[in-house]
Amino acid sequence: MEMVRMKNVYKTYPNGVGAIYDLNLVIEKGEFVFIIGGSGSGKSTLIKMLYREEKPSRGEIILGGVTVNKLRNSKVYKLRRKIGVVFQDYKLLPKLTVYENVAFALEVTGADSKTIRKRVIDVLTKVGLRHKANTYPDKLSGGEQQRVAIARAIVNDPKILICDEPTGNLDATISMEIMKCLVDINKELGTTVLMVTHDIDIVKSMKKRVLLLKEGRLVKDYPEGKFKNETI
Amino acid sequence: MKLFRAFFRSIRDAFKSVVRNFSLSLASISCITITLIIIASAILISFNVKNFTTEIENDVTIVVFLDYDVVEEDRINFENEIKKLDNIDSYTFKSKSEVTQEMIDEYDTFGEILSSWEENENPLKDTYNIKVLDVNKIGETASLIKKIDRVSLVQYGEGLVEQLLQVFGAVQNITIIAAVSLILVTVFLIINTIKLTIFSRKREISIMRLVGASNSRIKFPFVIEGIILGIIGSIIPIVFTIWGYGSLYTHFGGQLFSPIIKLVKPMPFAMYTSAILLITGVIVGMIGSARAVRRYIKI
Ligand SMILES: Nc1ncnc2c1ncn2[C@@H]1O[C@H](COP(=O)(O)OP(=O)(O)OP(=O)(O)O)[C@@H](O)[C@H]1O
Ligand SMILES: [Mg+2]
């Protein structure tokens, strides 16, 4: 089953900068896909169009059956509930505890308190942070904050998890812990994972499908296990 | 059910946010407090000045003394004449003997002297107390009355009344102008303070959107937060109004400088003023935050 389809997608920012040119792409349900490329090659732009932070200038984007490019502003929140997002800077709400941060993503869907409690404890246990439930984000290490962000991203049981350089701020050991966490989610929950990264070592070690962007174009698409090396 | 949940969660989030963003909340609260104290002062001053004016206007009467030896016919003639004047509101007649009786009631010593007089010896005169419609034209009216036949003396506290009214009119205008401009400036300040506090939470708003919160779910807690800030911000001004004005009133014994300048009684005046303050605080807080979030909520 198709999770993502992008057809002849172009993106030019209002200031005239072109970021994506004629991009065609299909990602199947349950895949784990890396997106790599040099700085400014359009990686973030590509995934921003998936969670509808940016609109494509041209072309069609379908995610989990939703035609994202036709989605109205007022309905974007419905799309966001089907997608988990993880960023380099974690994007946790600073005035909420770990528990509250994760719970927030469920509360906004209108879930009842009992379900929320159970789900939040479940995912926090899954990322190994149950004991930090009542801590505020600024009291956590980078790796821990990122695990909270991942817990929040999966608490809704999304179909797809989109990560923009989730290990960008973390050292090699912690990065591998985060990767293990993402791979587990992909395997155990069957969640499609899309991960933008700069870290070629991680990409090499994981043996997953790899998309290479260069100056806004998709120039290579390595199937699972075929990626050897690239200089980006 | 979902709507109920969202409602209660929003209220809970709003309280959380007020407490956890304490320094920001404090900035907004103090801003609201200062504005409301200014508004309270303006209301207290202008209503009192208005009260002085109306009290004085009500008190002002032209007292007309007729000649000693007037007869019924003269009085009828006088009444007909004043009915022709257009600034006359009402008049009351007091005969010599009524005036005498009044003085006897008021001062014991007068009583002894006065009661010794025979009716035709009475040195007092028949009097009319006349209320005018427009106090500002009282001088004119008095001089017209003076010209009527058999009028002996016309009194109305000439000079003083006009001056007082002029002063109060000026004070009232000044307080209203000062209050309105101060209120405008501070309301602007409040809205900006709240905007700034929300600006500092722009990132929070974008994160909420990212994890699937609808616009109304983001906006509602901020609006509630504005209301909470408005309510907290109006506490000190309300205490200032009720307790402060109350003790001021008691301190001055309900009058300023002289018994004719009466202060407005604290109850229920202070209560109404407090209600105005609370409502203003709530509305300003609400509008401030609603407008501020709206800017960041667009996608
Ligand atoms: N909001 C924006 N407005 C205008 N131009 C933008 C905007 N965001 C990105 N760009 C431009 O679009 C191009 C692609 O940017 P993008 O952020 O997608 O690159 P990236 O591959 O994610 O780079 P990096 O690895 O540095 O994060 C760049 O030239 C960038 O300057
Ligand atoms: Mg990027």
Q: Which helix (H) or strand (E) holds A194?
A: strand A192-196
Angstrom CA distances, A52 to A5, A56, B115, stand at: 14, 9, 102
How far apart (Å, rounded) are the C-alpha atoms in residues A100 and A115?
14
Supply the ipTM of this predicted assembly. 0.91
Same domain flag for A173 and A217 = yes
How far apart (Å, rounded) are the C-alpha atoms in residues B17 and B9?
12
Whether residue A146 is contained in a domain is answered as yes
**Candidate from A173-182, B137-146, B280-289 with smallest mean pLDDT:** B137-146
Q: Nearest residue CA, atom 22 of ligand 1?
A: A44
Percent share of chain B, pLDDT over 90:
19
pLDDT given for residue A78 in this prediction: 94
**pLDDT tens digits, residue range B159-213?**
677 777 788 788 878 888 887 887 788 778 777 777 777 777 888 899 999 999 9
Under a CB-based contact definition with an 8 Å cutoff, are residues B18 and B25 in contact?
A: yes
The highest-confidence range among A17-26, A220-229, B39-48, by mean pLDDT, is A17-26
Mean pLDDT of all residues in chain B?
83
Confidence band of A156 (pLDDT split at 50, 70, 90): very high
- Using the atom order of ligand 1, give the atom closest to the CA of residue A46: 18
Higher pLDDT, A227 or B109: A227
Confidence band of A120 (pLDDT split at 50, 70, 90): very high
Q: At what angle do helices B266-297 and B202-210 cross, to 10 degrees?
A: 60
How far apart (Å, rounded) are the C-alpha atoms in residues B278 and B40?
11
Whether residue A179 is contained in a domain is answered as yes
Higher pLDDT, A166 or B186: A166
Minimal Cβ distance to A93: which of B6, B207, B212: B207
Whether residue A41 is contained in a domain is answered as yes
The last residue of one of the domains, among A157, A180, A196, is A157
pLDDT given for residue A199 in this prediction: 93
* A80: contact with B, CB 8 A cutoff: yes
Q: Nearest residue CA, atom 7 of ligand 1?
A: A13
Confidence band of B273 (pLDDT split at 50, 70, 90): very high
Mean pLDDT of all residues in chain A?
95
Average pLDDT over residues A208-223: 96
- Return the CA Rg of chain A: 17
List chain A residues with CB under 8 Å of B217. 77, 108
Whether residue A87 is contained in a domain is answered as no
pLDDT given for residue B159 in this prediction: 67
pLDDT tops 70 at residue B255: yes
Query: Which CATH number is correct for B61-156, 3.30.70.3040, 3.40.50.150, 3.20.20.140, 3.30.70.1140?
Result: 3.30.70.3040
Q: How far is the CA of B18 from the centre of ligand 1 (A)?
A: 36
Confidence band of B257 (pLDDT split at 50, 70, 90): confident
- Using the atom order of ligand 1, give the atom closest to the CA of residue A13: 4
How far apart (Å, rounded) are the C-alpha atoms in residues B86 and B230?
51
pLDDT tops 80 at residue B105: no
Could you tell me the residue ranges of all domains in chain B? 2-56+162-296, 61-156
DSSP string across A110-124: T--HHHHHHHHHHHH
pLDDT tops 60 at residue B231: yes
* Residue B285 backbone class (left: φ over 0; alpha: ψ -120 to 50; beta: rest): alpha
Same domain flag for A46 and A132 = no
pLDDT given for residue B292 in this prediction: 78
Whether residue A211 is contained in a domain is answered as yes
The last residue of one of the domains, among A132, A157, A182, is A157
Q: At what angle do helices B138-146 and B160-199 cross, to 10 degrees?
A: 170
Q: How far is the CA of A44 from the centre of ligand 2 (A)?
A: 4
Minimal Cβ distance to B204: which of A73, A74, A93: A93
Under a CB-based contact definition with an 8 Å cutoff, are residues A150 and A185 in contact?
A: yes
Whether residue A35 is contained in a domain is answered as yes
Count of alpha carbons within 13 Å of B135, Cβ hemisphere only?
21
Same domain flag for A226 and A210 = yes
Under a CB-based contact definition with an 8 Å cutoff, are residues A166 and A113 in contact?
A: no
Average pLDDT over residues A200-226: 94
* B207: contact with A, CB 8 A cutoff: yes
CA–CA min distance B212, chain A (Å): 4
pLDDT given for residue B298 in this prediction: 65
Task: Output helix, strand, coil percentages for chain A, rounded to the nearest 5.
Answer: 40, 25, 35
Under a CB-based contact definition with an 8 Å cutoff, are residues A229 and A205 in contact?
A: no
A11 lines ligand 1 (CB under 6 A): no
Average pLDDT over residues B130-152: 81
Average pLDDT over residues B282-288: 87
Measured from the Cβ of residue A190, the count of other Cβ atoms closer than 10 Å reads 10
CA–CA min distance B240, chain A (Å): 34
Whether residue A125 is contained in a domain is answered as yes
The runs of H, that is alpha helices, within chain B are 2-20, 22-59, 72-84, 96-106, 108-115, 138-146, 160-199, 202-210, 215-233, 235-239, 245-251, 266-297
Confidence band of B90 (pLDDT split at 50, 70, 90): confident
Whether residue A206 is contained in a domain is answered as yes
pLDDT given for residue A131 in this prediction: 96
Quote the tokens at residue A78: 């419905």
Q: How far is the CA of A25 from the centre of ligand 1 (A)?
A: 19
pLDDT given for residue A118 in this prediction: 97
**Candidate from A138-147, B85-94, B113-122 with smallest mean pLDDT:** B113-122
Quote the tokens at residue B28: 């907004």
How far apart (Å, rounded) are the C-alpha atoms in residues B275 and B234?
10
Same domain flag for A132 and A165 = no
**pLDDT tens digits, residue range A135-151?**
999 999 999 999 999 99
A53 lines ligand 1 (CB under 6 A): no
Q: Which residue of A has its CA nearest to B19?
A: A95
The residue whose CB lies within 8 Å of the most ligand 1 atoms, and thus the one to mutate among A12, A21, A43, is A43
Residue closest to B88 by CA, chosen among B50, B144, B127, B126: B144
Average pLDDT over residues B51-74: 80
Which position has the token pair 């010599």?
B96
Cβ distance of A80 and B16 shorter than 8 Å: no
pLDDT given for residue B158 in this prediction: 64
Angstrom CA distances, B119 to B99, B115, B123, B262, stand at: 12, 9, 9, 39
3-state SS assignment for residue A212 = strand
Angstrom CA distances, A10 to A20, A60, B61, B139, stand at: 5, 9, 88, 87
The last residue of one of the domains, among A157, A173, A199, is A157
pLDDT given for residue B119 in this prediction: 61
Confidence band of B117 (pLDDT split at 50, 70, 90): low
List chain B residues with CB under 8 Å of A77. 209, 212-215, 217
Higher pLDDT, A25 or B28: A25
pTM: 0.79
Quote the tokens at residue A17: 């900068």
* A220: contact with B, CB 8 A cutoff: no
Hey, what amino acid is at B222? F
pLDDT given for residue B118 in this prediction: 65
A45 lines ligand 1 (CB under 6 A): yes
Average pLDDT over residues B126-143: 82
Angstrom CA distances, A205 to A179, A214, A225, A229, stand at: 10, 22, 10, 11
pLDDT tops 60 at residue B299: no
pLDDT given for residue A177 in this prediction: 92
The highest-confidence range among A34-48, B63-77, B131-145, by mean pLDDT, is A34-48
- Return the CA Rg of chain B: 31
Same domain flag for A59 and A149 = no
* A85: contact with B, CB 8 A cutoff: yes
Cβ distance of B299 and A104 shorter than 8 Å: no
Q: Which residue of B has its CA nearest to A152?
A: B211
Which position has the token pair 């030896």?
B69
Q: Find the CATH number of the domain harbouring A180.
A: 3.40.50.300
Domain of A6?
1-82+159-232
Hey, what amino acid is at A17? V
Higher pLDDT, B124 or A22: A22
List chain A residues with CB under 8 Å of B6. 110
3-state SS assignment for residue A183 = helix
Strand intervals (E) in A16-166: 18-28, 32-37, 58-63, 66-67, 83-87, 160-164
A89 lines ligand 1 (CB under 6 A): no
Hey, what amino acid is at B207? I
3-state SS assignment for residue B36 = helix
Looking at the structure of chain A, the number of domains it has is 2
How far apart (Å, rounded) are the C-alpha atoms in residues B205 and B298?
10
Higher pLDDT, B247 or B196: B247
Phi then psi for residue A192, to 5 deg, are -70, 135
How far apart (Å, rounded) are the C-alpha atoms in residues B175 and B41?
9
Angstrom CA distances, A220 to A25, A61, A213, B206, stand at: 11, 20, 7, 33
